[in-house]
Chain A
Amino acid sequence: MITQTLIRALDRKALFVVALLLFIAVAVPVSNLYLPEGHPLRVPDHFVPLFGKYLTYAMLALALDLVWGYCGILSLGHGAFFALGGYAMGMYLMRQIGDRGVYANPVLPDFMVFLNWKELPWFWHGFDMFWFAALMVVAVPGLLAFVFGWLAFRSRVTGVYLSIISQAMTYALLLAFFRNDMGFGGNNGLTDFKDILGTPIQSGTTRAVLFAASAIALALAFLVCSAIVRSKLGKVLVAVRDAESRTRFLGYRVDNYKLFAFTASAIIAGIAGALYVPQVGIINPGEFAPANSIEIVIWTAVGGRGTLIGPIIGAVLVNAGKSWFTGVLPEFWLFALGGLFVAVTILLPKGIVGAFTGGWSALKARRASARAEEGTNLSGDLKTSPAE
């Protein structure tokens, strides 16, 4: 039963995406580590964490696509789940610093010593163990999404109202994490990481492994999403998006379906955040900023929502554009981003992938009808010139 569902998830397009991601997962680290400096095919050192970051953003956009593209829930707070996953990883990395911090306290992170705290707050316990932190990366965003979704969907909060409260949620978390006495490092956040799983976080090998992990995680997330949307479950999600009350009157508990999609999406976003933090070396409350969550929506829209592949392309393209643009014309980036969103909404309402597949299927339909016409012409043995 489960294998069948997985096999169905792997149609040709999905197989191509997964194969490509796995290829990248191997090729980029190998080229970076084993090719000599200056080789034309060598991926430069600084590109490895940069591309790795793009991959985690792609995973975040994929997560949003599951709820927005397929279930019609426009979450403007998905950055919160990403950031929470990131904080869980950041807490593990902080505990790994040990006595190598500025204040050389073997247990307390520097910011706690600075704040004159005498012992570790209860919620920091356990984060010295990787498995516990990894569990929290999944559990904290998942639980928040579950509680938030349970309250919102059961009360039938939909549409723009849901978008607004999701935005309020991430804003509330932003304000909370800014406070020093929350115990998450206040506005400086968590940084100065040294080790991950016993290896130095700045080393080329670690970075290459983190890159490979991001690519593989993205491939797995893509597979899971693909298995969801290509099953009857996915069809129900689309049904909820297009005609919610019809779905309800067919006997489906719409709230449970939304809750499932929302929670699954938050977990994927959390894992993406956990992979993001060791590659950029910092997590701070800025990640909860509503603007970040809105950017995710733009990546997804640019790539094409409801396609799974589109958001991955959108996230990578927009962020590569951002890296280039902020280098050349830093003060104009936000204008460019806004302009891009307007342009995509007007010119490519289905995004890059949507426009591409739309054009392709229109072409196929034209070809098919042309063939059909030829067929009738041949059978009737008529010689007609094409009516162009």
Chain B
Amino acid sequence: MGRQETLLYLDGVSVSFDGFKAINNLSLIVGHNELQAIIGPNGAGKTTMMDIITGKTRPDEGDVYFSGTVDLTKLDEAAIAELGIGRKFQKPTVFESHTIRDNLELALKKPRDVFSAWFYQPDDKDTARIDEILDMVRLTARAQELAANLSHGQKQWLEIGMLLAQDPQLLLVDEPVAGMTDAETVETAKLLKDIATTRSVVVVEHDMSFIRDLAARVTVLAEGSVLAQGSLDHVSADPRVIESYLGR
């Protein structure tokens, strides 16, 4: 696949913190409408990779392109988010002193400048979209409650809902099922698979049965670079993967 056809293109990316190479010559491609799972031991550089893609960390070297042409290393977080990359944090981060509906309203794709926000009035289309997302993440009944009252798993869902409201082309989802029950985990896999029919989704997760449910291409990271890639069965048969990750 050439760079032009990719949605996300990382080539030879490296970054080090105080001499420690968190990401080492990492190359990775995400196609349009692709669901990709990323696994790897702690310290493999998964979160750092997301930081680089979303503009929080600048790589020391390497190329990061969105839609084949947009150089992400030149943009900041807000610009990258507006471009169409949404990110869910490892620790669910929602606006706790806002209602669930307001959380979604804030995330909804709208002009982000100060004065547009001051004079913003939700129109029928916005309300309908928020209702739709509330339904999708099963929070309709609690829409007027403060987000602080949600359980850990529900916060994860709300955050995924906020991502959807942003209407991104690419969703980066960091550990979406941490703190969820088995049933919720299965539902989450279904939801993410649904989302991936119209957008690209990159999921970082440790939960192997969840990865199996996703039935996605798996990339194994270790020590800041790609160790193996392919179906879950393929990578879990790889002796290097067993040694560095699964075996432990």
Contact = CB atoms under 8 A, between A and B. Distances in A.
The reply to whether chain A is a binding partner of chain B is yes
B84 to A, nearest CB: 9
A246 B95 contact: yes
Contact of A4 (B112, B121, B162): B121
Interface stretch (A19-27, A192-200, A250-258, A323-331): A250-258
A251 B82 contact: yes
5 contacts: A231-B118, A232-B120, A238-B98, A250-B81, A253-B78
A261 B118 CA distance: 12
A232 B106 contact: yes
B166 interface: yes
A231 B119 contact: yes
A232 B108 CA distance: 11
A182 interface: no
A264 B29 CA distance: 45
B113 A256 contact: yes
Interface residues of B, number: 29
A102 interface: no
A30 B117 CA distance: 41
Best-buried of B54, B94, B106 by chain A (most CB within 10 Å)? B106
A1 interface: yes
Interface of A: 1-2, 4-5, 227-228, 231-233, 235-236, 238-239, 242-243, 245-254, 256-257, 260
Interface string B89-113: 1000111111000100111000011
Contacts of B54: 249
A293 to B, nearest CB: 26
B119 A2 contact: yes
A365 to B, nearest CB: 12
Nearest to A253: B78
B112 A251 contact: yes
Contacts of A239: 95, 98, 106
A2 B115 CA distance: 11
Nearest to A306: B97
B114 A260 contact: yes
A253 B80 CA distance: 11
A248 B93 contact: no
Given A2-B119, A243-B93, A250-B162, A236 B106 contact: yes
A347 to B, nearest CB: 22
A233 B93 CA distance: 20
A227 B97 CA distance: 19
A238 B117 CA distance: 13
Nearest to A255: B78
Given A232-B120, A251-B112, A243 B77 contact: no
B193 interface: no
Contacts of A227: 118
Contacts of B120: 231-233
B199 interface: no
A235 B81 contact: no
A245 B76 CA distance: 12
B46 interface: no
A158 to B, nearest CB: 15
Contact of A251 (B94, B105, B118, B166): B166
A54 B213 CA distance: 65
Contacts of B86: 249
A248 B78 contact: yes
A252 B120 CA distance: 14
Best-buried of A2, A227, A239, A251 by chain B (most CB within 10 Å)? A251
Contacts of B78: 248, 251-254
A73 B102 CA distance: 22
Contact of B118 (A228, A243, A246, A247): A228
Best-buried of A5, A233, A260 by chain B (most CB within 10 Å)? A233
B121 A235 contact: no
Given A248-B78, A254-B78, 13 more contacts: A1-B121, A233-B118, A236-B117, A239-B95, A242-B97, A243-B94, A243-B95, A245-B77, A246-B89, A251-B112, A252-B112, A253-B112, A257-B114
A43 to B, nearest CB: 38
Contacts of A257: 114, 117
Nearest to A231: B118
A246 to B, nearest CB: 4
Contacts of B96: 242-243
B105 A232 contact: yes
A233 B98 contact: no
Nearest to A1: B119
Contacts of B81: 248-251
Contacts of A246: 89, 93-95
A4 B123 CA distance: 13
A363 B93 CA distance: 30
Contacts of A250: 81, 106-107, 112, 162, 166
